[in-house]
Amino acid sequence: METVIRVVIVYVFIMAALRMMGKREFGELAPFDLVVLLLIPELVTQGINRSDQSLTHAMVAVATLLTLVFATSLLSYRFKRVENVLSFTPAVLVRRGSLVQRNLDHERVLPAEVFDALHQAGLHRLAQVQWAILESDGKITIIPAQEAGERQTEDEQGV
């Protein structure tokens, strides 16, 4: 049935498009991101539905989408290669008090955004940071220098 093919095409297309946009887009919704996320359904609705308003069509479309989501989740968990293709790798933004400019450029993260995360962690200088990591969900995690040192010691002691 054509509905199945249309949902598969749209799902793969959106997955690929979102994957290419990068994880930064998912951390916080800026006005631009919100516009994009609101527009995508509007644009694909006609592509999937055509003029079919039937419940059968809707049920098949939803079932196709959920099956794809579940299958993606299973494959991503089972096979590392699939996971690598579908999910993002965390990026180090600050390493031992220094900004990693290459990663900031790749992930389009401004130093001000790193400092926002610093402030939220109760820090105010880069020197206080051991690691700042852009996680796969787009959020920035701060690991303070002292805390990282303590944890390293704990690891070494086998705690």
Partner 1 sequence: MQRNRKQPDDGPPQPPDVERKVALYRHQKIGMTLLALLPILAFAGAFGESRKTSQAAGGSLDVTVTYPTRLRYSLDERIEVRVMNVGGTVLNRVRVSFDPDYMDGFTSMTAVPGFTRAYEIPLDSMAPGETRIVRVDVTARRYWKRSGIMSVSGGTTPLRLNLTTLILP
Residues of the shown chain interacting with partner 1 in the complex, contacts defined by CB under 8 A:
1, 3-4, 7, 51-57, 59-60, 63-64, 66-67, 70, 74, 77-80, 89-92, 95, 100, 103, 130-131, 133, 143, 148, 155
Residue (54 or 146) nearer to partner 1, CB = 54
- Distance of alpha carbon 110 from alpha carbon 108, whole angstroms: 6
Provide DSSP, 5-64.
HHHHHHHHHHHHHHHHH-THHHHS--HHHHHHHHHHHHHHHHHHHTT---HHHHHHHHHH
Q: Which is nearer to partner 1, 29 or 92 (CB)?
A: 92
Alpha helices by DSSP H, listed for 50-144, are: 55-78, 80-86, 101-107, 111-120
Min separation Cβ 49 and partner 1, Å:
11
Nearer to partner 1, 46 or 89 (CB): 89
Nearer to partner 1, 30 or 77 (CB): 77
Least separation in angstroms between residue 110's CB and partner 1 is: 19
